[in-house]
Structure 1
Amino acid sequence: MMKWILAKYKQYQEVISYLFWGVVTTVVNIGIFIILKHITGWNYQIDNAIAWFVSVVVAFISNKAFVFKSQSVSLSQTAREFVSFTGGRVATLLIESLILWVGISLLHGNDVIVKIIDNVVVVIINYFWSKWAVFNSKTK
């Protein structure tokens, strides 16, 4: 039984690692969003943009080092990965902003619940972008 569990872990290690670090990044994102919401009085989209920026940095570092284990050989390669990673995240920021706008402004939903829902959608999209476009060893 233990052999089977270890084999399954090894088979799905990347997905498990991504989910773990995705939860960490999501907690950072939602935590900063909630903190800013309570202390700034700014529009939720501004709070979201700041939370997004911090979580993108956390996600890049964790995805590069622990999920996809990218072994950049140069600063320029790391910079290309970061630009591609951030480009994908900007696209999902637009999706996230749209979900927040519809959920909060149009449907008058609870901002934290809508934020959690948008994070689920974004984490899924970001996984595929990171796996196939950013940290794909075939594209290097």
Structure 2
Amino acid sequence: MKNKIEVVNYLIFGILTTVVNIASFWLINHIFGMDYRVATTIAWIISVIFAFITNKLYVFNSKTTGIYSLFKELISFLFFRLLSYFLDLSLMIILIEFIKADSLIAKIIANVFVVIFNYFASKFVIFKPSNKQR
């Protein structure tokens, strides 16, 4: 049961993170007219901050409070999110430059792959309960 609640919470907050990412991208790219690569980077930063807080508190219910444990989670989270940023940006370049997809459609497609990658990284590496928490 706990696992189902975790997956549902991840989907809810994953959708919200994706909305934050896509909305930020759209605002920066379409409204402010910035290049899609710059918009992708800024949107990534905004959504990573949102995702760390929501994943820690509401999805994986991480109980770490010590500065060392919190820092370790944050560094691990940022490392895997940086990997997903490169996945996101690479897919955006492939879809826009080579396939000639619309930037917003490309962003949505890229985010499907990013969400899947991020779930497994968060579940099995970043917020994996320590032996003490099990």
Given the two structures, how large is their TM-score scaled by the length of structure 1? 0.90
Partner of 2:68: 76
Partner of 2:54: 62
The verdict on how the C-alpha distance between 1:81 and 1:34 changes in structure 2, with shifts beyond 3 A counting, is: same
Larger Rg: 1 or 2? 1
Structure 1 residue 41: deviation in Å?
2.1
* Structure 1, gaps ≥5 residues long: 1-6
* Structure 2, gaps ≥5 residues long: none
Partner of 1:116: 108
Partner of 2:38: 46
**Amino acid in structure 1 at the alignment position of 2:43:** A
* Cα RMSD for the two superposed structures: 1.4
Determine what percentage of the aligned residue pairs are the same residue.
39
Structure 1 residue 106: deviation in Å?
1.2
What is the rounded CA distance, in whole Å, between the counterparts of 2:73 and 2:130 in structure 1?
A: 13
Structure 1 residue 64: deviation in Å?
0.1
Structure 1 residue 138: deviation in Å?
3.1
- Secondary structure class of the residue paired with 2:130: helix
Note if contact 1:64-1:135 (Cα within 8 Å) is conserved in structure 2. Answer: yes
**Amino acid in structure 1 at the alignment position of 2:42:** I
Partner of 1:129: 121
What is the rounded CA distance, in whole Å, between the counterparts of 1:11 and 1:122 in structure 2?
A: 21
Q: Count how many residue pairs are aligned between Structure 1 and Structure 2.
A: 132
Given the two structures, how large is their TM-score scaled by the length of structure 2? 0.93
1:9-24 maps to which residues of 2 (within 5 A)? Answer: 10-24=2-16
